[in-house]
Structure 1
Amino acid sequence: MGRMTTRKGSEGGLFRDACFTSGSPPQEGLPTLHLLGVGKVGKAFLRCLPQRSYRLLCVTDSKASLYERGGLDPLWVLREKAEGKSLKGIAGSWEIETETAVSRVEADCVVDCTATDLDDPGRALRRTLSILESGRAVVLGAKDSLLADTGALLEPRFRGRLGIHALLGGTGWNLMEELDELRASCAEIVAVPNATTTLLVQSIEEGLDFEEATRRAGEEGLLEHDPAQDLEGKDAALKLSIVARAVFGSEVDFDAISRPSAGELDPGMLRGRRERGFTTRLVCRAKPGGTLHLGYEEIPLDSNLAIPWRNVAYGYRLRRGELRLHLGNGVGPAATAQALLEDLDRLFGRGNAHGPPPPPKRGS
């Protein structure tokens, strides 16, 4: 695999003065991608990408970018990363701000696998809006853009070029396709959006102690860097905030959301419930104009919410009583990467004749 070689210098030289050593012409006709973030999900995405017909123009992390106009080999990038290198340490990389790289590469679609930044979500929002306003597409794995301004990103003019399927555990397309109906008729959201807590509950019910169950969740790639984000409902609350804003259109005070403590996962209580024919899930609830609430609830084993840990559930109770249930299996790095690819296939009309049309050409 050839790689880009450059002279260190001003950012203006990037992508104009680069000398390419691959010797292969660009793969004409294939949608082009720019991957942001090479963490667990980003690596899983690179691992799956060769099975799909896309051309990877650029990979960017917080420090640097790798670019190849003929298309980067995803597996080559993975091999370089496997040696413990950051992109900055790979020969031919370019130290450049993420926003500058995104604007200059001009790939058909940006795949955002960066870590969610709650300290400055506005930065991700500005980047995402800039991409969409330019006529390009964005597939989101990170939550910060939508947390900053859900309504702006879900405007009808953007929906055919915005992917949130993976962000909501493989249910994002269901929400996008039914959004207008749900906005008109949804009376309550009830969801089990966090697979980590479900795995912990199931593991403890099966006889593991809390430490063993936590270790299992880590081995499955589910735990956040700070496990308390999962156990105390922070990750679930972020997702509930997004869907509540999307459906009800109201502002959400994240700090006011009622959340549980990790101490509520008492092994004796969990096993006792199971012996009585019940189980426990971290259930999220929201109503129009009301507060958002999360809690570890006792539910029957035959409940729609008693899903296995490899799934998430988002339920939308309509005013006429019907429960519209969206089930997803985009759990863990590998499954999240597959959900990102499903987003891409839908956006570009590949493998799903009923999906939205391909993103319009820039300038159209």
Structure 2
Amino acid sequence: MAEPLRVAIAGLGTVGGGVIRLLEVNQALIERRAGRPIEIVAVSARDRSKDRGIDISRFQWVDDMTTLGEIEGVDAVVELIGGSDGPALALARRTLAAGKAFITANKAMIAHHGLSLAGVADAQDIPLKFEAAVGGGIPVIKGLREGAAANEIKRVYGILNGTCNYILTTMEQDRRDFADVLAEAQALGYAEADPSFDIDGVDAAHKLSILASLAFGSELDFEGVATTGIRHLIAADISEAQALGFRVRLVGLAEADGDGLLQRVRPCLVPMAHPLAHVSGSLNAVVAEGNFVGRLFLQGAGAGDGPTASAVVADLIDVARNEYGPAFAMPVGSLARPPRADSGDRTGRTFLRLTVQDRTGVLAEIATAMRDAGVSIESFIQRGASEDGGALIVLVTHACPERCITDALERLAGSDSLTGQPMVMHILDL
């Protein structure tokens, strides 16, 4: 029997406990697939005394988690702490410097520091693995890095945050307002006490930047992701979208062409015929379009102890088999550095919701701003009084460059006819 792969784990929360349980429950199967045993030999977390419902007394406890990779007899370190910097980053750097394999579920750290970490892994010819960082248990990293490796990817997009998707589908099904559903999601543990990273799109942007790098062979550019969350959605947006034959989803989209790389996260109207419209609850889904393979669609649980632990252990099995390549599918030195594409050049239809004063002349003012900006209106809906006594105007435009929409809103920005922030959602016509 081959020598076991000896593993240290930093972080013993929901996912850390899931990894320990998965390695125990599926021990025999994992050993056969890996070609050798995978054994946990050391652990570390912030609180040693916490009751986690698992027996950790059989493992070596290490107070300073950043040193796990330097312990004699440890072959691979799993990081499940979280955070883009701090102990997680220190652990990653020290582990790779020590020549040990590093596996993480930390999308923020990879989005911010993945290139520098991958450079060290390349130089040392050691594994840097992060399947669990995007999509939980969905094998999307492996799918892009290996399964679609022969293809030129035109675009990659999807629903990348389960908290937002839960909120949007609950608003849709129960016809409830955003704040009410968010409070329920927090009570159920689907949303954090401070949900900003989720509802403002930051979590999805971290994941999208990683997918874009893998899909297009480009350097990570998290700062280049234009991000708009779902904080300002109201129930009327959901119901009007439904009436028009769409569902609202927070979509992360990246596409590359001769003008550069476009990356953005924002709520979109998804046609009912598109598979993303039927991704409900806390599920995630990713679509990649290759020039030979066509459209690939991967869906599954994007978080939770079981799915995320499954992705972590899949990475460990690869390490045990000595099956790994460059972290971003090619050496860091081969990654391209495309310019950031101007989204204003992108053409498509747009949904606009305006809250306005209920008085004579408002509709003419809106129509004039649209005309002068070169925006043609496909449909126009006016609803009765809103909560503040105004009226709701919903427009769907014909296809036009997005800069025209921006221009129209800028023309209306100084008007006292508008009583609230406009909601702009592009229609996903892919």
TM-score, normalisation: structure 1: 0.69
2:129 counterpart (155, 158, 163) = 163
2:215 counterpart (236, 247, 263) = 247
| Whole-angstrom CA distance in 2 between matches of 1:301 and 1:149 | 36
| Cα shift at 1:338 | 2.7
Could you give the per-residue CA deviations for residues 271-296 of structure 1, whole angstroms, max 9, x where no partner exists? 33234432111111222322311110
TM-score, normalisation: structure 2: 0.60
Could you give the per-residue CA deviations for residues 299-341 of structure 1, whole angstroms, max 9, x where no partner exists? 1233122222343222222346922333342422332123323
2:20 counterpart (22, 46, 56) = 46
| Cα shift at 1:257 | 2.4
| Whole-angstrom CA distance in 1 between matches of 2:165 and 2:290 | 26
Contact (CA 8 Å) 1:228, 1:262: kept in 2 or not?
no
Matches within 5 A, 1:317-336: 317-319=289-291, 322-336=294-308
| Whole-angstrom CA distance in 1 between matches of 2:197 and 2:184 | 17
Matches within 5 A, 1:261-340: 261-288=229-256, 289-306=260-277, 307-319=279-291, 322-340=294-312
Q: Against the structure 1 CA distance between its residues 283 and 334, is the aligned structure 2 distance closer, same or farther, given a 3 Å change threshold?
A: same
Show structure 2 runs of 5+ residues with no match: 28-37, 326-430
Partner of 1:7: none
| Whole-angstrom CA distance in 1 between matches of 2:147 and 2:73 | 30
Could you give the per-residue CA deviations for residues 173-209 of structure 1, whole angstroms, max 9, x where no partner exists? 2122136324xx1122222211111111011112144
Show structure 1 runs of 5+ residues with no match: 1-26, 66-72, 81-91, 350-355, 360-364
Contact (CA 8 Å) 2:104, 2:133: kept in 1 or not?
yes
Partner of 1:149: 114
| Cα shift at 1:233 | 0.4
Q: Aligned pairs, how many?
A: 303
Partner of 1:138: 102
Q: Against the structure 1 CA distance between its residues 357 and 174, is the aligned structure 2 distance closer, same or farther, given a 3 Å change threshold?
A: same
Could you give the per-residue CA deviations for residues 226-263 of structure 1, whole angstroms, max 9, x where no partner exists? 31111110000011111222333434553442211433
| Cα shift at 1:157 | 8.8
Contact (CA 8 Å) 2:18, 2:309: kept in 1 or not?
yes
Contact (CA 8 Å) 2:96, 2:102: kept in 1 or not?
no
- For the pair shown, which has the larger CA radius of gyration, 1 or 2? 2
Q: Secondary structure at the match of 1:235?
A: helix
Residue identity in the other structure for 2:55: W
Instruction: Tell me which protein shows more strand as a share of its residues.
Output: 2
Q: Against the structure 1 CA distance between its residues 107 and 216, is the aligned structure 2 distance closer, same or farther, given a 3 Å change threshold?
A: farther
| Cα shift at 1:224 | 4.4
Partner of 2:413: none
Partner of 2:157: 190
1:174 counterpart (130, 133, 143) = 143
Q: Against the structure 1 CA distance between its residues 45 and 141, is the aligned structure 2 distance closer, same or farther, given a 3 Å change threshold?
A: same
Residue identity in the other structure for 1:166: A
Partner of 1:109: 76
Partner of 2:345: none
